[in-house]
Every structure is written in C-alpha cells, then in structure tokens.
Homo-oligomer: A and B are copies of this chain.
Amino acid sequence: MNPVIETILAHRSVRSFEDRELSKEQIETIVRCAQAGSTSSYVQAYSIIGVTDDEKKKQLAEIAGNQMYVADCGHLFVFCADLHRHEVIGQMEQADVLPSVESTEKFMVGVIDATIAAQNAALAAESMGLGICYIGGLRNNLPAVCKTLHIPERVVPLFGMVVGYPKKINQQKPRLPIEHIYSENRYPQNESKYINQLEDFNKIVQDYYIKRTNGKRNDTWTSQVAKTFEKQSRMYMKDFVKKQGLNKQ
C-alpha cells in the first residue's frame, strides 16, 4: 500500500459539495495531470471545457436529469473526444486526413485519450481531498450540450466531471469478484461458473442496499443492470456521433 494505491482504492462518487469554488491553481494542477497521461500515437485527441458560467451550469445540470450538484460544485469539467484539432492540422499540412478523422478507429482513440485524461484528473482531485463524480447524464442530450458550449463538428462531449469539497461521503459500492473481471490467457469459458459468480455478487449487492437503505431497497446487481439495459436510453447516439463527423467509416 502506498499513497497512490490508497487514493485509488478510497474512491467513491461524491454528489454533495460545500459551497466553495476550486482555486485557479487547483484547476491548473488537475488539467496538467489530465494532460500527463498516455495518448495514442501522441495524437492528443481530446479537449476539456471548464464551466463557470451560472446559466450554462444550470443548463447542463438540467440536461443531466436535473442533478443540481452538476451546478452546485467546486468546478465542472466536460471531457470531449476531439478530432477537430486533427482536421485543422490536415488543412495546415495539406494532408488528406478526413478518412481517418471519420473512422471508428480514431473515434475510439478520441474516447480512450479523453478518458485517460479524465481519470488522471479524477485522481489528482481526490488526492487533494476533493470529491468527484463522472456525469454521464450529459449524454442524455448531447446536441444541447454542444449548443451550450459551442462545440463544433468532429468533437463529441463524453461526460462531465464535478469536483469539489465533499459535504457527504457515501459508502463504497461493491465491485464484481476479481475472478469475474480478470482471467488469464483466455476469456472465461465456463458459463456455469460465470453465472455462479454473478449470483454470488448479487447477494453482496443486495446486502449492501439493504444496509444502506435500512431495508427499503433490496435489488440485485443483475436485476438492476437488466433494468438499465431494458430502458434503451440514448439510442440517438449513433446518429449524433455520425452527424458530428465521427465513427462514420
């Protein structure tokens, strides 16, 4: 155990913050940490937008399903997969970059680069005693996010991240058994063992909810996941990403 591993293992999402803004220095440190991460072939295919304007924060909080902590936090970051930069470079260098820019491969590169940056930012913030929460809820309405933040073609906002001084610290949520996430030399092949692991995990999650809610909630992990997936949320995504000029070919 060292301070890095301690910070990583202590993670829980924080959704309630003190009314206290991050300093310019804190924001700069967090962004510099984001930038220090690996980037595929050194292409740096992401951008980060900080949101400080009250009206814009309110709009984004509404998009995220009226999660008011999106507005009421120390700082709100939005992480984007960004190939606009590379389209501009194509013009600067008179190079035909568009088939690449529009490819599924480069869209994946953008999502991976942005997420490596984001997780570095998250841990940098947590190491300063701040709390964070990823805001996937922005994907409820990405056209509106793009309008609010003037995001151009070739850029897809992926998620927000709220950062701030924690007011309430939640319990950690249990994770799948390590044997279920990690296997050696091949993908797990024993389907009945695989299902048994899920059923064992269901008991752990059920216990967690019963304790956390004084018995009010007792759903299992698989029932929760099934409900999430039955909902068919954000089915506009394929068309939207294509309209942004990514993941097309």
Q: A-side interface residues toward B, CB under 8 Å? A: 2-5, 7-9, 11, 13, 28-29, 31-38, 40-44, 46-53, 56, 85-86, 88-90, 92-93, 95-97, 99-101, 103-106, 108-109, 111-112, 115-116, 118-120, 122-124, 126-128, 133-134, 136, 139, 149-152, 155, 158-159, 173, 175-176, 178, 181-187, 189, 191, 194-195, 198, 221-235, 237-238, 241, 247-249
Contacts and interface: CB of A to CB of B under 8 A. Distances in A.
Which 9 pairs show the lowest CB-CB distances between chains A and B? A4-B127, A93-B226, A97-B229, A115-B115, A95-B226, A119-B119, A104-B238, A105-B234, A3-B3
A6 B50 CA distance: 23
B150 A187 contact: yes
Contact of A181 (B31, B150, B229, B233): B31
> Which interface residue of A89, A106, A118, A123 has the most chain B CB atoms within 10 A?
A89
A175 B100 contact: no
Given A32-B178, A104-B237, A184-B49, A43 B124 contact: no
Contact of A4 (B56, B88, B97, B123): B123
Given A2-B128, A226-B97, A247-B104, A31 B182 contact: yes
